Structure 1
Amino acid sequence: MPVSLEVCVDSVDGLEAAIAGGADRIELCSALELGGLTPTPGLIAAAARAPIPVYAMIRPHARSFEWSSADAVAMLAEIDAVRAAGLAGVVLGAALPDGNLDVALLRTLCERAREGHGLGTALHRVFDLVPDPARALEEAIALGFERILTSGGAARAVDGLAMLGDLARRSAGRIAIMPGSGVSADNVARIVEATGATQVHASCREALAQRDGKGVALGFFPAHPGRTSQHLVEAFKQALDSVS
């Protein structure tokens, strides 16, 4: 079975590079250096013209996965904006103070996403912080998520293969388990063979030189910038072809 590639991007040029490189789906974000936040209206508008499915991250800030009532209102508005733009879906996550999934809020967000012209829904790596992955898996299935993006609770998916494999077995085809974090053309074959994954997630980013030291010092630019590389996406797809 072919293995599909989802590429996370946070800019218009990254979006174009991922599409040109052969990505099968886009996770659209802003601020990937923070793990990905809700994309800007301009980026959403550009993504609406993409020839492949685009799922937008719904994450209003990077302080926590515990959302206040004001955060929840903002997330509902962001979901509405994504639907109005005509994107394919949204990427969601919410946690309680004890680390378990905030099922009540996730249900509200999923229900909003499925109103009218229904959006697909994916659960992001909030899953990697839950104390009981087996319980969270069943909750995600009951909420109707299409897939779970997870590293198997490790910093890198290649180090979480045991949990990823266990989740795949437990899911029994009821939901897709999509390995992500540190997945590259060099290790994706090992990850797919160990987990049976039919879709994987990667950034396919290349490092850029940061020349403006003052801009970094003043907090304007990241110390280690990167951008989506068409060539890395192409290399990733070639690696997947050999696995398939």
Structure 2
Amino acid sequence: MSLEVCVDNLLSLQTAAAADVDRIELCSALELGGLTPSAGLMIAAAEVGVAVHTLIRPRAGDFEFSGCEIEQMIDDIHACREVGLAGVVIGAGTGGWLDETSLEALVDAARGLEVTLHRAFDLVDDKVLAIDIAADLGIDRILTSGGAATAVAGADEIRRYVDHAGGRVSIMAGSGITADNVASIIERTGVRDVHGSFSRASRQYDAAIPALGFSASEALITADREAINAVKDVLNGL
């Protein structure tokens, strides 16, 4: 079993590392589904002693990227390698299909790093074909909620993906995972990797902060060490 924790700030990075999770997904702007983190945060992540995989996503919205955006993403992948991070998290697609050409370029840029296909996969119409494409490209794992809002709701679909993948690529369940449901999700799906942010509001902002547009929320949202440990305890007992 492996536990991946997604973080978008330095405090959450330090919390996840201190909890000795198996892997950290590093990003910014989780409220937007995650974007590529800053160079400074990547440098800090290289020093935490936990495998860190960086999300490569240049903007919010869909995953139909222009050629210039793909070049930007390739540069970000090179930056991850240069600071010594272990992997990258990528995705590209349009119209219900994976963008194989763009993904091939991104995977090629990431040679020597682990590669995860993120939940752009959940927007694909033919997920069985997408699994085959990912495996052929040499992608290591696919993060999915089974095309549903949560991994609980998509558990039956995730089981189908695990069965089809047959070990060629790891299927990692994510979205809405907690200590209360992780054992059931694993039993129903057969996954060996789970993912979540396991976060909470750690500090309330002054009312002026969201009012003036400096934050989308009224509080600083950070990883919760107790929530992470609770999930780890369940996984260790399986």
* TM-score, with structure 1 as normaliser: 0.94
Q: RMSD between aligned alpha carbons?
A: 1.1
In the alignment, the residues of structure 1 paired with residue 5 and residue 218 of structure 2 have an alpha-carbon distance, to the nearest angstrom, of: 19
Match of 1:47 in 2: 45
Q: Give the alignment partner of residue 113 of structure 2, picking from 102, 105, 119.
A: 119
- 5 Å-filtered alignment, 1:24-173, equals 24-96=22-94, 98-114=95-111, 118-173=112-167
The SS at the match of 2:210 is helix
The SS at the match of 1:7 is strand
CA distances 1:218-238 after superposition (whole Å, capped 9, x unpaired)? 210122541111121111100
Q: Give the alignment partner of residue 230 of structure 1, picking from 225, 234, 237.
A: 225
Following superposition, which runs of at least 4 residues in structure 1 exceed 3 angstroms of deviation?
208-211
- 5 Å-filtered alignment, 1:157-236, equals 157-208=151-202, 210-225=204-219, 226-236=221-231
Kept in 1: contact 2:207–2:218 (CA 8 A): no
1:51 positional shift: 1.1
Kept in 2: contact 1:21–1:231 (CA 8 A): no
Identity over the aligned pairs, expressed in percent?
48
Structure with the larger strand share: 2
CA distances 1:205-226 after superposition (whole Å, capped 9, x unpaired)? 0124533222212210122541
Which structure 1 residue ranges, 5 or more long, are not aligned?
A: none
Match of 1:23 in 2: 21
Which structure 2 residue ranges, 5 or more long, are not aligned?
A: none
The SS at the match of 1:159 is coil
Kept in 1: contact 2:15–2:224 (CA 8 A): yes
Higher relative contact order (Cα pairs below 8 Å, separated by 6+ residues): 1
1:19 positional shift: 1.3
Task: Say which is worse superposed, 6-15 or 223-232, in terms of deviation.
Answer: 223-232
